[in-house]
């Protein structure tokens, strides 16, 4: 199976980050856009966490038809019951239950022995099956877990009926090669692994969430937990737009792996999340940042105008940005400037007139961060006192 399942956790892990909490209405609005984007699974929240989260999961379960709706639940009957109840109206529902398997989490957070954790994990999966056949199990802090124990837990939960086993790098500690190796080791050491989909959930504490996810996909993971704009606990999760566009742009590298994401909806989804949360991405953010398709250096502008692929590895339109943006500033060259004049309708200027305007433009650009179309029009009228076609 080479379809990569996109499990979007913007409304759960993403919303957990400070400053990103959303109202029920905002979460439903976001869920509708995620459905349009074509995500396979929407993790709508953590139903047992609060009344608001229960309401949000429930409202999304009622509204969304094309994506599977999921709720997180600890490995506790009370959490799983809440998740099952909130998800009841969903056409397709998933319960995502988890328990930590690393020594540090078991000892200090759970205060449980590995045997107790194993028993609890199996019990949770079996109990969740009372509400849906689609049960996902996460071994929290999997990357820092002792390998043989992790394999044993995965084997047991698959036997108990988990259809997806998720491998979180909860604290963003893994290096890409190590994380890919872990996926390969799971495939080679969990005897019933062919009965489940391997999923990954990477955090970005070292800025490696996307790299680690891609490394795991290369080794056989077929579900990725992602968030829009990479929001999530602490430094965030793997960004949906970066994972999806990496797979699309580098299909030569990922071979026949593909996603069903409607990439033309990416930019709109990113902007909607920014508007809802009031938190905007940095200009140089890959795929969705303001500068992602902007070219200011003269040499780059010349290249892009001559042949777009000189400096663009994907088309702005493919992610829903109307067109690549040539920003005119002090680094811009005459070629880009002349092209902008033509785009503005000034096609009949002599070379001398263009030269004169270009000198004025450079002088202005030294004083301003960006020269806008209105500035250029003002230059033309000041300099030439005439109207061009």
Choose, by CB under 6 A, the member of 26, 53, 140, 265 that binds ligand KIV: 140
What would the x/- binding string for Zn ion be over residues 8 to 27, using CB under 5 A? -----x--------------
With CB under 6 A as the contact rule, the residue among 98, 137, 149, 293 that binds ligand KIV is 98
Shortest approach of Zn ion to residue 50 CB, angstroms? 18
* Pure H helices in 69-170: 77-87, 103-104, 114-128, 147-160
Residue 14 touching ligand KIV (CB under 6 A): no
166 labeled part of a ligand binding site: no
- For Zn ion, the closer of residues 138 and 263 by Cβ is 138
Residues 187-206 within binding reach of ligand KIV (CB under 6 A)? 201, 203
Instruction: Look at residue 72 and give its three-state secondary structure.
Output: strand
Does position 168 interact with ligand KIV (CB under 6 A)? The reply is yes
Does the protein bind ligand KIV through residue 138 (CB under 6 A)? yes
Neighbours of 246 (CB within 10 A): 20
Ramachandran angles phi, psi of 117, nearest 5°: -65, -45
Q: How far is the CB of 203 from ligand KIV (least distance, A)?
A: 6
170 binds ligand KIV (CB under 6 A): yes
Q: Is 204 annotated as a binding residue?
A: no
Site for ligand KIV in 67-86 (CB under 6 A): 72
Binding partner of residue 277 among ligand KIV, Zn ion, none, CB under 5 to 8 Å per kind? Answer: none
- Whichever of 68 and 138 has its CB closer to ligand KIV, that residue is 138
Residue 13 makes contact with ligand KIV by CB under 6 A: yes
What tokens were used for 31?
A: 């869920």
> Shortest distance, CB of residue 274 to ligand KIV, whole angstroms?
22
Exposure of 144 in the CB half-sphere (CA atoms within 13 A): 14
How far is the C-alpha of 259 from the C-alpha of 27, rounded, in Å? Answer: 24
Question: Binding to ligand KIV by residue 8, rule CB under 6 A?
Answer: no
Q: Classify burial at 165, counting beta carbons within 10 Å of its beta carbon; exposed 0-12, middle 13-18, buried 19 or more.
A: buried
Residue 201, marked binder:
yes
The CB-based long-range contact list for 214-218 (8 Å cut-off, 24+ gap) reads 214/176, 214/243, 214/246, 214/247, 215/176, 215/177, 215/179, 215/180, 215/183, 216/167, 216/179, 216/180, 216/182, 216/183, 217/4, 217/243, 217/247, 217/254, 217/257, 218/180, 218/253, 218/254
Burial of 82 (0-12, 13-18, 19+ CB in 10 A): buried
* Minimum gap (Å) between residue 291 Cβ and ligand KIV: 30
Q: Which residues bind Zn ion (CB under 5 A)?
A: 13
Q: Which residues bind ligand KIV (CB under 6 A)?
A: 13, 72, 98, 138, 140, 166, 168, 170, 201, 203
């Amino acid at each position: 199976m080479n379809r990569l399942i996109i499990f979007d956790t913007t409304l759960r892990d993403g919303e957990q980050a400070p400053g990103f909490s959303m109202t029920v209405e905002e979460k439903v609005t976001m869920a509708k856009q995620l459905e349009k984007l074509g995500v396979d699974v929407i993790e709508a929240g953590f139903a047992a966490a609060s009344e608001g989260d229960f309401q949000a999961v429930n409202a999304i379960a009622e509204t969304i038809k094309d994506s599977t709706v999921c709720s997180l639940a600890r490995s506790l009957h009370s959490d799983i019951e809440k998740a099952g109840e909130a998800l009841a109206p969903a056409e397709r529902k998933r319960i995502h239950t988890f328990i930590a398997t690393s020594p540090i989490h078991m000892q200090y957070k759970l205060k449980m022995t590995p045997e107790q954790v194993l028993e609890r994990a199996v019990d949770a999966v079996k109990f969740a099956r009372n509400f849906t056949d689609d049960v996902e199990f996460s071994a929290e802090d999997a990357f820092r877990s002792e390998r043989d124990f992790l394999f044993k837990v995965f084997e047991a939960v698959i036997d108990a009926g988990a259809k997806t086993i998720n491998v979180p790098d909860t604290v963003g500690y893994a290096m890409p090669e190590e994380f890919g190796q872990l996926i390969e080791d799971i495939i080679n050491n969990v005897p019933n692994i062919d009965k489940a989909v391997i999923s990954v959930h990477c955090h970005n504490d070292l800025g490696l969430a996307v790299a680690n996810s891609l490394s795991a996909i290369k080794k056989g993971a077929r579900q990725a937990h992602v968030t829009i704009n990479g929001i999530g606990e602490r430094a965030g999760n793997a960004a949906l737009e970066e994972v999806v566009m990496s797979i699309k742009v580098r299909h030569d590298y990922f071979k026949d792996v593909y996603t069903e994401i409607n990439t033309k909806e990416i930019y709109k989804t990113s902007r909607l999340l920014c508007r809802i949360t009031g938190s905007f991405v940095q200009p140089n953010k890959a795929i969705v940042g303001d500068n992602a398709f902007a070219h200011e250096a003269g040499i780059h502008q010349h290249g892009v105008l001559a042949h777009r692929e000189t400096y663009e590895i994907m088309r702005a339109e493919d992610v829903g940005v109307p067109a690549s943006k040539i920003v005119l500033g002090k680094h811009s060259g005459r070629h880009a400037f002349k092209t902008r004049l033509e785009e503005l309708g000034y096609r009949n200027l002599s070379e001398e007139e263009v030269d004169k305007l270009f000198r004025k433009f450079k002088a202005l650009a030294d004083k301003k961060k960006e020269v806008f179309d209105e500035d250029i029009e003002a230059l033309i009228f000041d300099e030439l006192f005439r109207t061009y076609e």
